[in-house]
Amino acid sequence: MMTKPLTQEMIASLENIVGQSFLFLDTETRNHYGHDETEDYVFPPSVVLKPGSTQEVAAIMKLANEYGVPVVPIGGRTGLSGGALSIYAGIGLSMERFNKIEIDEKNLQAIVEPAVITQVFREAAKEKGLFYPPDPSSQGSCTIGGNVAENAGGARAVKYGVTKDYVLNLEVVLPNGEIIWTGANTLKNSTGYNLTQLMVGSEGTLGIITKIVMKLLPDNSHNILMLVPFFKAGQACEAVAQIFRAGVVPSALEFMERDAIDWTLKYVDGVSLDIKDEVEAHLLIEVDGNYPDVLFAEAEKITQVLEQFDIDEILFADSEDQKNALWKLRRAVGEAVKSNSVYKEEDTVVPRYELPTLLEGIKTIGKKYGFHSVCYGHAGDGNLHVNIIKGDMTDENWKTEVPKGIREIFELTVSLKGTLSGEHGIGYVQKNHMDIAFNDPQLQLMKSIKKIFDPNNVLNPGKILPDSLV
């Protein structure tokens, strides 16, 4: 794709739309909005805009579409697949002024604007006795708009589903500047093609989300949290499927390899654990609900399953403080692992029973190509984050061997009926692996869908679809 330079004329027109104080050309601002949490990439936009209304977004898109200038919508910049990177420069569209929450208690729904921080939304719902379950580890800084764009998950997805399961309706600005609602504010909808779910997870390539109608649940009041040390990492993965077979659906079922927990204990303040040397991995398991007796019964069922495995003593969190500490630990794993070294993170997902096979395969592939990996993630969903650590690998091997290994990991994942990404999206970094998951007719369909929405390829170009296809 050729990048057109922004003309003075166009910049003047953009300033007319958003106002002088919401247009930024300085290097510092452009660099700030030029990276997210994806490896060490920086792709600054040529100009940063901060529109204040759907109408302004529409006017910007109309202009960009006419001029053929790329537009990249930007949320909390916590993405791990490079969705918010302005890889062809152009307009970086920070949605940060879209930050209203309107909770409709009567219908257990909310209208949320895309820049609302996920945790802020969850707390606003909780104040009204309502519950918005999706809780990505980055919930303190990621935005609802980004969550919708990437179809984000989180620890509670295993029981409550991912972002897509809560999105009822979206206000969207199309690349030509037209404004649509994708559906209706209803719990059920069999009215035409599901444009809502086509937009969810489309990573800002089909339209710019300006309002989100979310379903909420009644809040629940109790939970039990336990940390289970396994002497064999493979057994921790095996236990996951058996817990479900025992008839329990935990509200979280998280897996952490030994390195993940050790590195995180060094990284975060105020959390300490006494772990035996022989422990290879942990499961962090939560059950939730309104009735403590039920939770005790479920925890007892889970314990019975776990006792069949080679485990050390289970730690039951006995206070809110200890629960918070364990969750703080789990949420910091990603950052902690990444703080150690240059890294690449893969977001593999398989049917949950295949987890032990996947984990073993990843280690074998790592040995073959000479890299160390730290694995953790949402085991209840079969979603394993694989962090490949550069450490003291040579730059040469990092550039040539690791990509071969990553491809083999994805081939293994797909052969196990899994796929490339469970919750991070494809974005910039995984697009050239899409041919592993999809055959040519499928990719052509996706390309055609992109073309319908965005015939001039101005909206977040160079994402999702493989370069060979575009």
What is the C-alpha separation between 430 and 425, in angstroms, rounded? 8
What is the C-alpha separation between 456 and 453, in angstroms, rounded? 9
For the record, the structure tokens of 276 come out as: 């035996």
Q: Are 154 and 137 in contact (CB under 8 A)?
A: yes
| Nearest CB to its own copies, comparing residues 56 and 347 | 347
Taking the complex as a whole, the smallest distance from the CB of residue 413 to its own copies amounts, in Å, to 9
Taking the complex as a whole, the smallest distance from the CB of residue 442 to its own copies amounts, in Å, to 5
Taking the complex as a whole, the smallest distance from the CB of residue 108 to its own copies amounts, in Å, to 6
Taking the complex as a whole, the smallest distance from the CB of residue 28 to its own copies amounts, in Å, to 32
What is the C-alpha separation between 376 and 366, in angstroms, rounded? 16
| Nearest CB to its own copies, comparing residues 49 and 465 | 465
| Nearest CB to its own copies, comparing residues 32 and 447 | 447
Taking the complex as a whole, the smallest distance from the CB of residue 130 to its own copies amounts, in Å, to 10
Taking the complex as a whole, the smallest distance from the CB of residue 414 to its own copies amounts, in Å, to 7
| Nearest CB to its own copies, comparing residues 277 and 293 | 293
Taking the complex as a whole, the smallest distance from the CB of residue 244 to its own copies amounts, in Å, to 6
Identify which of 321, 315, 249, 236 has the alpha carbon closest to the alpha carbon of residue 287. Answer: 249
The region that residue 376 occupies, defined by phi over 0 for left and psi between -120 and 50 for alpha, beta otherwise, is beta
| Nearest CB to its own copies, comparing residues 109 and 457 | 109
Specify the amino acid at residue 258: R
- The residues, ordered by sequence, that sit 6+ positions from 48 with a Cβ below 8 Å of its Cβ are 23, 24, 25, 29, 30, 32, 33, 91, 92, 94
Taking the complex as a whole, the smallest distance from the CB of residue 221 to its own copies amounts, in Å, to 9
| Nearest CB to its own copies, comparing residues 92 and 380 | 380
| Nearest CB to its own copies, comparing residues 302 and 389 | 302
| Nearest CB to its own copies, comparing residues 14 and 144 | 144
Identify which of 421, 442, 437, 444 has the alpha carbon closest to the alpha carbon of residue 79. Answer: 421
Taking the complex as a whole, the smallest distance from the CB of residue 354 to its own copies amounts, in Å, to 8
For the record, the structure tokens of 74 come out as: 């930007």
Taking the complex as a whole, the smallest distance from the CB of residue 236 to its own copies amounts, in Å, to 16
| Nearest CB to its own copies, comparing residues 44 and 361 | 361
Give the Cβ contact number of residue 249 at 10 Å: 13
For the record, the structure tokens of 234 come out as: 């493979």
| Nearest CB to its own copies, comparing residues 351 and 370 | 351
Residue 41, classified by CB atoms within 10 Å of its CB into exposed (0-12), middle (13-18) or buried (19+), is middle
Taking only Cα atoms into account, the Rg of the chain, rounded to an integer number of angstroms, comes to 22
Question: Which string of DSSP letters, residue by residue, matches 374-394?
Answer: EEEEEGGGTEEEEEEE-TT--
The region that residue 385 occupies, defined by phi over 0 for left and psi between -120 and 50 for alpha, beta otherwise, is beta
Question: Which string of DSSP letters, residue by residue, matches 262-298?
Answer: HHHHHHSSS------TT--EEEEEEEEES-HHHHHHH
Give the Cβ contact number of residue 404 at 10 Å: 12
For the record, the structure tokens of 362 come out as: 């990843």
| Nearest CB to its own copies, comparing residues 238 and 401 | 238
The region that residue 193 occupies, defined by phi over 0 for left and psi between -120 and 50 for alpha, beta otherwise, is beta
Taking the complex as a whole, the smallest distance from the CB of residue 194 to its own copies amounts, in Å, to 5
